[in-house]
Amino acid sequence: METQELVEKYFRPGRLPHIWCPGCGNGIITGAIVKAVDKLGLNQDETVVVSGIGCSSRSSGYLDFNTVHSAHGRALPVATGVKLSEPRLKVIVCTGDGDATAIGGNHFIHAARRNIDLTVVLFNNNIYGMTGGQYSPLTPTHSKATTAPYGTIERAFDVAKLAEAAGATFVARATTFHTQLLTDVIAKAIAHEGFSLVEAITACPISFGRQNKRGGAPDMMKWQRDHGVVLAAYNKLPEDQKEDKFPIGVLYEAEAPEYTKEYDKVIAAAQGVQRTPRSEES
Ligand code: SF4
């Protein structure tokens, strides 16, 4: 489908132009979500997008699905409630690095631990963009932020490893430079049954780039191009060359019981009946 057709089909009339700064990567990620949904042929009325608060979370307001723009850090509890009430729905969570791993950090690890069938697209711009450039748990050590004018001394999470360790059964990473890969891994994440994370590395030329002298948006895109390496090639790099690179692609995939199906078994046991999990009902 051509871009114009995608916009007309999947974006709410009258909501564009968006509020993101020139050069921001959030539109690229939102576009990749739409392309992934289209690639999978999902029913728009049976697709739900839940977001938290922050620049990334504005994405839900532009999209013509069932959407919830929830509270800061609370996208996952809201998405969990939606999925538990109607397990046949496809639920996608749009969140940022601060939203998902600081105030929402506990929700993130426990949703992963439960392996509930949600797809989290984490827009990682390395900073709190909307509120003025404070450092987040994904801000690289020594980066400057309004709350760390001399550079943060905290160590950043590797959120992909965090998700895997917490119990996620699909973990992938891509950047806004690698747009085809980004679309592909989001589609795979949505198709996967269980908790899936896509870390989408994006440029924030305003709140992160300016403070850290990263140049403009094109320079930040080139940085993504030069530092993201497809997993198979990354694994072949000598250790000293891995230091300033990061792997992209599907990083981890496993099978485990999915939470809503297990929950339905508990309901059936309590009622003393045999029943098909609701996610499999037509
Ligand atoms: Fe994008 Fe950063 Fe502007 Fe937010 S502050 S819209 S993340 S460029």
The pLDDT of residue 277: 87
Q: How confident is the model at residue 269, as a pLDDT?
A: 94
Atom of ligand 1 nearest to the CA of 133: 5
Tell how far the Cα of 258 is from the centroid of ligand 1, in angstroms.
35
Which atom of ligand 1 is nearest the CA belonging to 21?
A: 3
pTM above 0.85, yes or no: yes
- The verdict on the CB of residue 204 being under 6 Å from ligand 1 is yes
- In this predicted structure, the answer to whether residue 282 has a pLDDT above a threshold of 80 is no
Distance (Å) from CA 132 to ligand 1 centroid: 9
For the Cβ of 25 lying below 6 angstroms from any atom of ligand 1, the answer is: no
Given this model, what pLDDT does residue 275 score? 83
What is the distance in A from the centroid of ligand 1 to the CA of 251? 27
pLDDT tens-digit readout, 80-106: 999 999 999 999 999 999 999 999 999
Mean pLDDT on 143-160: 97
> Is residue 153 scored above 90 in pLDDT?
yes
Q: What is the average pLDDT score of the chain?
A: 96
- Look at residue 250 and tell me whether its pLDDT is greater than 90: yes
What is the tens place of the pLDDT at every residue in 55-80?
Answer: 999 999 999 999 999 999 999 999 99
**What residue owns the CA closest to ligand 1's atom 5?**
129
Burial of 146 (0-12, 13-18, 19+ CB in 10 A): middle
Return d(Cα 164, Cα 82) in angstroms, integer. 23
Question: 221 alpha carbon to ligand 1 midpoint, in Å?
Answer: 14
pLDDT of 263 reads 96
Per-residue model confidence (pLDDT) at position 1: 79
Distance from Cα 96 to the centre of ligand 1, integer Å: 11
